Amino acid sequence: MNSAIPPMLYRRLGRTGLEVSAISLGSWATFGECVDDDTTAAVLDLAYARGVNLFDCAETYARGAAEAALGRAFRRLGWPRETFLVSGKVFWGVHGRRPNTWGLSRKHVFEGCDATLRRLGLDYLDLFFCHRYDENVPLVETVRAMSDLVRQGKILHWGTSEWSTFQIREACRIARADGFVPPQVEQVQYNFLTRDKVEGEMRELKADVGIGLAVWSPLAYGLFAGRYDDGEPQNGRLDLRKYAWLREAALGSEEADVLQRVRAVNALAREIGTTPSRMALAWVLRNPDVDTAITGASSPNQLRDTLGALAIVERIDDGLSQRIEVALGRTGGAPERSNAIRELAAPPDVLQQ
Ligand SMILES: NC(=O)c1ccc[n+]([C@@H]2O[C@H](COP(=O)([O-])OP(=O)(O)OC[C@H]3O[C@@H](n4cnc5c(N)ncnc54)[C@H](OP(=O)(O)O)[C@@H]3O)[C@@H](O)[C@H]2O)c1
């Protein structure tokens, strides 16, 4: 494998003024739980050196421990705050399902933001996402709370994650009508298995209201990194007992069939002389609607491999895309089989994504 890493590309995040690296780095199921502090710092150091400028986290990741680990790494690495972006997400909290400790009430949004800033050791977040939609809280309360955080300078922009386009449009409408700051970015899953929302309704929304798109799990949790290609998966997060729910969401009851298709796609990547993670990420980045793809890495070597995607984005032409569709068994416009988004909306005590 060629270890040379091409220069980073930067894209404007929706209609914000932010320039964001096309590849950004997340901290779910890695920092603060599966990866120690030295490795965390090494992964971040490599990312930053290669131009990654957005680091994504959430209060729920390892129940706050991921934010704390990121905070320790930021202090250790000592980067000027002006040179990187940090995003947080509020919804599930860190105290389980007690009244007021989770969701999108003004109380939890304010307290969640303060706790996140404390754990990260930062004065402000560049982006703050509502991690899911809260059916129990009036939308106007959430929009007002997020808007107030912007005005207080605790966050620079706010966004949504896995909200329907109807919910996002409603939030924009309320903001316009009442003079609040509107959401500007949606964080949504996008990979070979889960793609219909990004390629369908989000596209229209992006054209209409200019919403930015930060997409997550471009490698489908490592499936398209070849992580699970050799017989039974080993040591990846899908093998961990605590992530049994994720394995179910990612592979469902047709596990053998999905893995067979995943392996066919990964074999195609090797056949064209690249690595699975590079082809998977390049396929995501070839979509001009994607402002940034948030990947994960549990070692510098993984990230080094994945960053090579930048060099092959142009190779994802119609011919290769068609071969990928065949390997995925998606010819004839078959809909995606993944139910990951629905599954990921499971209750907080089940879920730590
Ligand atoms: N908004 C949301 O609801 C939401 C939900 C999920 C994720 N996210 C964000 O998106 C980020 C990325 O999600 P993700 O971690 O699922 O992304 P991903 O890029 O699909 O998967 C990353 C994982 O794939 C494996 N991997 C990566 N490169 C590899 C390589 N070169 N060779 C072998 N294995 C490799 C590693 O698995 P192992 O760690 O098992 O080694 C790594 O942690 C998260 O950290 C989080 O910030 C947001």
Indicate the CATH number for domain 11-344. 3.20.20.100
Higher pLDDT, 136 or 351: 136
The one-letter code for the residue type at 124 is Y
CA 85/CA 95 separation, integer angstroms: 27
pLDDT beyond 70 at 152: yes
Q: 146 C-alpha to center of ligand 1: Å?
A: 27
Nearest-atom number in ligand 1 for the CA of 35 is 39
216-225 tens-digit pLDDT: 999 999 999 9
CA 150/CA 148 separation, integer angstroms: 5
CA 89/CA 158 separation, integer angstroms: 9
Q: Quick one: pLDDT at residue 229?
A: 84
Nearest-atom number in ligand 1 for the CA of 281 is 19
List residues near ligand 1 (CB under 6 A): 26-28, 30, 56, 131, 161-162, 187, 216-222, 225-227, 236-237, 277, 294-298, 302, 305-306, 353
What DSSP state is assigned to residue 254?
G
Q: Quick one: pLDDT at residue 257?
A: 87
Mean pLDDT taken over the chain: 91
Q: Quick one: pLDDT at residue 350?
A: 39
**For the whole model, what pTM was predicted?**
0.94
Q: Quick one: pLDDT at residue 332?
A: 59
Domain ranges of the chain: 11-344
Q: Where are the beta strands (DSSP E) in 80-225?
A: 85-90, 125-130, 155-161, 185-189, 212-216
Is 318 exposed, middle or buried (CB count within 10 Å of its CB: 0-12, 13-18, 19+)? Answer: exposed
Name 179's Cβ contacts closer than 8 Å, sequence gap at least 6.
Answer: none
CA 121/CA 231 separation, integer angstroms: 42
174-200 tens-digit pLDDT: 999 999 999 999 999 999 999 999 999
Q: 165 C-alpha to center of ligand 1: Å?
A: 25
Q: Quick one: pLDDT at residue 6?
A: 79
Q: Where are the beta strands (DSSP E) in 196-353?
A: 212-216, 292-295
CA 58/CA 65 separation, integer angstroms: 10
Q: How far is CA 341 from CA 32, 260, 267, 331, 345, in A?
A: 24, 22, 26, 22, 7
pLDDT beyond 80 at 336: no
Helix 37-49 / helix 65-77 crossing angle, nearest 10 deg:
60
283-305 tens-digit pLDDT: 999 999 999 999 999 999 999 99
What DSSP state is assigned to residue 31?
B
Tokens of 290: 């994607």
CA 313/CA 138 separation, integer angstroms: 42
Q: 325 C-alpha to center of ligand 1: Å?
A: 22
